[in-house]
Structure 1
Amino acid sequence: MNRALRYATVGVIAASLLAGGSAAAFAAPQDVHTAKPAAAAAPAAASLTAKASVNSVKAWQEFRISGVAKGIKAGTNVTVQQKQGKKWVSLPAKAPVNKSGAYSVRVKLGIKGANQLRIAAGNTVSPVVAVTVR
């Protein structure tokens, strides 16, 4: 390239920058093969609903807790948890989430009085469901 053409090119670039043009407009193009792809959209937060089939049962009488799991893979087991003192304790009652996200767990309780229960799948938990055992 001859010297006059180089000076003219530099002059045009300088004039554009002084006039408020963008330096990025004159930057070298990036290699599209080395650029990082855009981050995928974050998955929706997982959630669980829960509803007991009864409000009150006799000790060791079977009832069901049913609900819907959103953002939780079909086949994942949901577990019943019972509040004992200040801790949530997992009971040996669990059931898989079906393709539509629904689940239904059979439960038997022996601790008399008001019981606070919830459904858990990993770190996701449902709102508390109260069942009284008499």
Structure 2
Amino acid sequence: MNRTLRYVAVGTVAVALLAGGSAAAFADQPYDLHSPSPVVATAPAAAQLTAKASATTVNAWQEFRISGTAKGIKAGTKVTVQQKQGSKWVALPAQAPVNTTGTYSVRVKLGLKGVNQLRVGADGTISPVVSVTVR
């Protein structure tokens, strides 16, 4: 047998083995190989807000910032600072939009002396509580 014929024979056997092996590997698949792969629906990720104050202690009416990230919240959506007053959360007149990178920064001034509990809210999503002491 000449060399060329031998290479053709080996190539043919190799292709047959690979094709048979591939067919065996896919034989247990429940769907047709030529159809599109099945689409699996997943729930959208829950929106999340983080918050961090630029200072933990400030003088009355001294400006500070609350900054953070907004995942799953559309750019341009306004975040609002809320302050705990008694047992209620009250919205303060401090808002800022979420930017295109998913971050925000709000300027805040507080006059209520003592430890103030603050959080940020947008579209029904609330951040963890941040404490700022006003002297």
Task: Note whether the superposition's TM-score is higher than 0.5.
Answer: yes
User: 1:123 Cα deviation (Å)?
Assistant: 1.1
Aligned to 2:112: 111
Q: Which runs of 5+ in 1 are unaligned?
A: 1-37
Return the letter of the residue paired with 2:90: V
1:99 alignment partner in structure 2: 100
Distance 1:111 1:58 in 2: 10
Partner of 1:72: 73
CA offsets per residue over residues 30-84 of structure 1, 9 Å max, x none? xxxxxxxx78432110000000000000000000000000000000000000000
Q: After the TM superposition, which residues 1-134 of structure 1 pair with which residues of structure 2 at under 5 Å, given as runs?
A: 40-134=41-135
Q: Distance in 1 between matches of 2:41 and 2:77?
A: 24
Deviation at 1:122, TM superposition (A): 2.0
Paired residue secondary structure (1:79): strand
**What letter is aligned with 2:103?**
A
Identical columns (%): 75
Partner Cα distance (1:40, 1:110) in 2: 49
Q: Which runs of 5+ in 2 are unaligned?
A: 1-38
Question: What amino acid is aligned across from residue 133 of structure 1 in structure 2?
Answer: V
Higher mean alpha-carbon deviation, 38-47 vs 87-96, is at 38-47
SS in structure 1 of the partner of residue 69 of structure 2: strand
Moved over 2 A (4+): 38-41
TM-score normalised by length of structure 1: 0.70
| Mapped partners of 1:116, 1:81: distance in 2 | 8
Aligned to 1:30: none
Amino acid at match of 1:76: T
Q: 2:92 corresponds to which letter in structure 1? A: L
- Structure 1 counterpart of 2:5: none
